[in-house]
């Protein structure tokens, strides 16, 4: 009997490992490296779990979190962070309960996963935070900014020396994330694909954003790209799209998605998601979850009011707003080819309502300013931009906000060039100003 008890005691850790995981998350390294584990720990703490422990997995970029639930049940959450595309592939195989992605689901992926529901629907597609793809160079590099056109030329190998960009340095050394990375897919979609360019085969590739940034920081001839949370002391360049102003990836410009390489971070849930997967998505959207997003170096979706410096070339109405009001750190955007708000905007309606309620500014204190892209018919851009602002006013009315004024500024003050469709989409936006 003592020997049998000893055998059972030795087997206990093995049996515990055999217990199925309560939640399996696969996908983005940007999310899974640190943010995903931090959100899981935050959720477990909010649920009253104890003995929360984070362990590295058996494979690089994998994490296991263990805890004991309020009812004493042993809990295990597994996170595999090998790139956004691997999350959707894992959903298709049934190997994940939730996909983490640092770029939107693609048409082929959405088609492949139809059996799991409409993954572009508001319940399935959850924007948990924002990030900017930061273009990084060595701290001693004197270059201040680049255009997206120049970035395409550099990373495709058309521009190969720093002297071609007006600074000394010799040959340019390229650093890029690997093909499974959502960061790379975002960079490719925003920079390379619109210009029919492909990444140079000379680029060094990295699964880990941290490893890439560390290499750029050590190499005086380097240029690379990374998420804001993994810059790690490298110099960050401002980026311009088309003839718009070059903008740095500041938190305010990423929050409003004005920065050209802004991106959204997503959780994607199947139609019949596990309760713990749904709980994690809702926690990530909560104030506590958004605080964790900010703590991890990303940009939270919490609303703030910030002053905007007055510029001499601002249109008169806009200059008056800048002098008298503050702009909220959110832009409402729309579904592609539609006047309907996108999934993030639908959540932002509630966030703006909550902010105005707490600030006692629900009634006649907010101004909506719509913007758009150029149209051939005179006055049409101004009309459409005003209609977009009116669509936002209708949604805000549902949460108790009475807007003071709605205006449309047409194609004025673009944040992107209008030569490409992606730029025109970014220019179709609605800003919120508060007195």
pLDDT tens-digit series, residues 67-125: 999 999 999 999 999 999 999 999 999 999 999 999 999 999 999 999 999 999 999 99
Closest CA to 369 of 400, 412, 415: 412
Please, what are the domains in the chain? 2-130+264-295 (3.40.190.10), 131-255 (3.40.190.10), 303-434 (3.30.1330.60)
Taking only the tens place, the pLDDT of each residue in 16-62 is 444 678 999 999 998 999 999 999 999 999 999 999 999 999 999 99
State yes or no: pLDDT of 12 exceeds 80: no
Residues 6+ apart with CB under 8 A from 255: 130, 299, 300, 301, 304, 329, 330
Taking only the tens place, the pLDDT of each residue in 109-144 is 999 999 999 999 999 999 999 999 999 999 999 999
Q: Are 30 and 180 in contact (CB under 8 A)?
A: no
Q: What is the mean pLDDT of residues 408-415?
A: 95
Residues 6+ apart with CB under 8 A from 79: 25, 26, 32, 36, 37, 40, 57, 62, 63, 64, 65
In angstroms, the CA 148 to CA 416 distance is: 10
In angstroms, the CA 169 to CA 181 distance is: 29
Closest CA to 188 of 158, 228, 217, 148: 148
State yes or no: pLDDT of 65 exceeds 90: yes
Pairing of β 125-137 and β 262-268: antiparallel
In angstroms, the CA 421 to CA 427 distance is: 10
Residues 6+ apart with CB under 8 A from 237: 135, 136, 137, 143, 144, 145, 146, 248
Taking only the tens place, the pLDDT of each residue in 194-242 is 999 999 999 999 999 999 999 999 999 999 999 888 998 999 999 999 8
Q: Where are the alpha helices (DSSP H) in 135-274?
A: 148-155, 182-187, 209-218, 251-255
In angstroms, the CA 337 to CA 421 distance is: 11
Handedness of CA 398, 403, 405, 411 (dihedral sign): negative
Q: What is the largest CA-CA distance in the chain?
A: 92
pLDDT on residue 7:
46
Q: What is the mean pLDDT of residues 319-335?
A: 96
Q: What is the mean pLDDT of residues 239-264?
A: 93
Q: Are 234 and 216 in contact (CB under 8 A)?
A: yes
Q: Are 30 and 227 in contact (CB under 8 A)?
A: yes
In angstroms, the CA 335 to CA 122 distance is: 12
In angstroms, the CA 392 to CA 94 distance is: 38
CA 29 → CA 110, 178, 344, distances in Å?
A: 20, 11, 22
Band of residue 168 on the pLDDT scale cut at 50, 70, 90: very high
Closest CA to 133 of 267, 306, 36, 257: 257
Q: Are 44 and 50 in contact (CB under 8 A)?
A: no
Q: Are 147 and 259 in contact (CB under 8 A)?
A: no
Q: Are 27 and 96 in contact (CB under 8 A)?
A: yes
Taking only the tens place, the pLDDT of each residue in 328-378 is 999 999 988 778 899 999 999 999 999 999 999 999 999 999 999 999 998
State yes or no: pLDDT of 191 exceeds 70: yes
In angstroms, the CA 144 to CA 76 distance is: 46
Q: What does the block give as tokens for 256?
A: 């409003």
Beta bridge pairs of residue 131: 263
pLDDT on residue 103:
92
Band of residue 9 on the pLDDT scale cut at 50, 70, 90: very low
Determine the angle formed by the axes of helices 35-46 and 287-295, rounding to 10 degrees. 150
CA 182 → CA 81, 240, 244, 299, distances in Å?
A: 11, 21, 25, 17
State yes or no: pLDDT of 423 exceeds 70: yes
Q: What does the block give as tokens for 375?
A: 């149209």
In angstroms, the CA 267 to CA 277 distance is: 9
In angstroms, the CA 200 to CA 203 distance is: 6
């Amino acid at each position: 009997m003592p020997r049998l008890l000893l055998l059972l005691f030795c087997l206990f850790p093995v049996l515990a490992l055999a217990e199925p995981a309560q939640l399996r998350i696969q996908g983005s390294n940007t999310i899974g490296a640190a943010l995903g584990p931090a959100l899981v720990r935050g959720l477990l703490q909010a649920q009253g779990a104890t003995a929360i422990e984070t362990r590295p997995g058996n494979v690089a970029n994998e994490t296991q979190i263990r805890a004991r639930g309020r009812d004493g049940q042993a809990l295990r959450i597994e996170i595999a962070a090998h790139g956004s595309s691997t999350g959707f592939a894992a959903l298709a195989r049934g190997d994940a309960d939730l996909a983490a992605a640092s770029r939107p689901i693609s048409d082929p992926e959405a088609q492949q996963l139809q059996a799991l529901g409409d993954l572009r629907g508001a319940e399935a597609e959850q924007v948990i935070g924002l990030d900017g793809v930061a273009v990084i160079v060595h701290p001693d590099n004197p270059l201040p900014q680049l255009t997206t056109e120049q970035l395409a030329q550099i990373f495709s190998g058309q521009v190969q020396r720093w002297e071609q960009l007006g600074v000394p340095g010799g040959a340019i050394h390229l650093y890029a994330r690997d093909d499974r990375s959502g960061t790379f897919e975002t960079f490719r979609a925003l920079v390379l694909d619109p210009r029919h360019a492909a990444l140079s085969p000379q680029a060094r590739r990295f699964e880990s954003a941290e490893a890439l940034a560390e290499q750029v920081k050590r190499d005086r001839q380097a240029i690379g790209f990374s998420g804001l949370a993994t810059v790690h002391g490298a110099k960050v360049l401002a980026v311009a799209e088309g003839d718009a102003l070059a903008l740095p990836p500041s938190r305010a410009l990423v929050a409003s998605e004005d920065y050209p390489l802004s991106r959204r971070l997503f959780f994607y849930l199947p139609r019949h998601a596990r309760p713990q997967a749904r709980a994690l998505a809702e926690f990530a959207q909560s104030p506590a979850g958004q605080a964790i997003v900010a703590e991890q170096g990303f940009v939270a979706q919490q609303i703030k009011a910030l002053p905007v410096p007055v510029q001499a070339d601002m249109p008169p109405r806009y200059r008056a707003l800048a002098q008298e009001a503050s702009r909220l750190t959110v832009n409402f955007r729309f579904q592609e080819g539609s006047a309907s708000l996108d999934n993030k905007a639908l959540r932002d309606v509630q966030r703006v309502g909550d902010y105005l309620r707490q600030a006692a500014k629900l009634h006649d204190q907010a101004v909506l300013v719509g913007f758009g892209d150029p149209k051939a018919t005179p006055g049409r851009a101004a009309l459409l931009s005003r209609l977009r602002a009116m669509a936002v006013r209708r949604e805000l009315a549902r949460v108790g906000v009475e807007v003071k004024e709605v205006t449309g500024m047409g194609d004025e003050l673009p944040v992107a060039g209008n030569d490409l469709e992606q730029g025109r989409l970014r220019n179709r936006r609605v800003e919120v100003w508060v007195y």
